[in-house]
Amino acid sequence: MRKRQVHPSWECDAFDKVLSAPSEDLEFELRAAGPVPWADFFLNPRRLRGSDFLMRWSQGVWSEERIIQAVNESNEYFALAYGPSSVAPDDNPREFELYFERLERAGLGRLKRPDLLIFQKADQPIVDKKLSEVGGLKELPFTPEDEMEILLSRAILAVECENSLWRASQMPGFGSSLTPQKRLGGLPGLKKTAVVPTVIIKEEDRVPLLEWERRWNVDLHVWHVFYDMAFGLSFMQAEELIDSRRIEPTDQTFQAPGGATTRKVIYKFYYHYAYPVGTAVEEPKLVPAQITDNNGHILPYVRFEGGTLKLSREALGVLRAAKRRADGK
């Protein structure tokens, strides 16, 4: 097993880290309209270059909500937002900033927790009681994990959420087979230019999440949500794919709201290695939205709204296997 080190970009503050987005995903622009007055928009207290960051943030919240909805409708399990993403204010820039400042003051800004925890439905009264004791869902990110051992001991699966603005089924390489690749030493893969659904894990998240999994002994998976479907991969299998060199690291440029860019290592796992998490039964709508800063400036953007995801048989199988493992602890 190769020695792992924390990536230098892990040292950025919580606000910039959580709103950083891949440069290749920051594509929103009005080509035919000429200069856009709000392209260099100022929001108190941080500067957001256009609407891309807000759109990416709201998309991430939407993907977590879809997973929670799908798990809760299974009638066997329920999901709980565990990281700060789903409970951070998303309609007021100042409140958003203050939220992450509070995380920093609590010494929790640089900690990494999975986005969601999944429990057996039968354990909901115990979970609800613990939530009430800490002050509700919004206070969960500010509660030290040592005070939540009862909650974590009941979790059967932890989920890190990722998302992409693609219809996976319409991506050019969807349905293609893996073939021997010279750059992989003859191991199966696809050309570097292939456009296919992938499950993404960031190196800066990989290290602390693996440590979290080992500490709390809760199986950890990443569920990557696309517009029309979602795929899942366990961190254990992801490690095997990396160690066997079937999946190579990729350098990608990320941009923070203030304009700063940094190079980060990510891993893109072909969907061929993943299991289907679910399919969209009802697709979301893209609706106009806007926020107004303290100076009265208006920033318009687009957000996902609604939609329904139905868990696959494979995902239910993963949850049942995780339940059996948790019962055997």
The three-point CA angle 288-40-52 to 5° equals 40
Assess whether pLDDT exceeds 80 at residue 276. Answer: yes
Contacts of 52 (CB under 8 A, 6+ apart): 21, 25, 26, 27, 28, 301
- The whole-chain average pLDDT of the chain stands at 81
Q: Which two tokens stand for residue 261?
A: 């860019």
Tens digits of residue pLDDT in 3-17: 444 344 444 555 566
What whole-number percentage of the chain has pLDDT above 70? 75
Count CB-CB contacts under 10 A for residue 242: 20
What's the start-to-end Cα distance of the chain, in Å?
26
Confidence band of 68 (pLDDT split at 50, 70, 90): very high
Positive or negative torsion for Cα 75, 80, 81, 87: positive
Type of residue numbered 314? E
- φ/ψ (deg, to 5) at 235: -65, -30
Confidence band of 26 (pLDDT split at 50, 70, 90): very low
Query: Comparing 139 with 28, which gets the higher pLDDT?
Result: 139
Least confident of 118-132, 208-222, 237-251, 295-309: 295-309
- DSSP annotation of 59 reads H
pLDDT at 109: 56
Q: What is the mean pLDDT of residues 214-230?
A: 95
Partners of 145 in the β-ladder:
none
Taking the C-alpha atoms of residue 116 and residue 319, their distance in angstroms, rounded to an integer, is: 13
Confidence band of 25 (pLDDT split at 50, 70, 90): low
Confidence band of 57 (pLDDT split at 50, 70, 90): confident
pLDDT at 259: 62
Taking the C-alpha atoms of residue 259 and residue 250, their distance in angstroms, rounded to an integer, is: 22
Longest dimension (CA), the chain: 63
Tens digits of residue pLDDT in 114-133: 999 999 999 999 999 999 99
The three-point CA angle 51-44-11 to 5° equals 80
Taking the C-alpha atoms of residue 278 and residue 228, their distance in angstroms, rounded to an integer, is: 9
pLDDT at 173: 94
Q: Determine contact, residues 5/96, Cβ cutoff 8 Å.
A: no
pLDDT at 38: 38
List the domain boundaries for the chain: 8-327
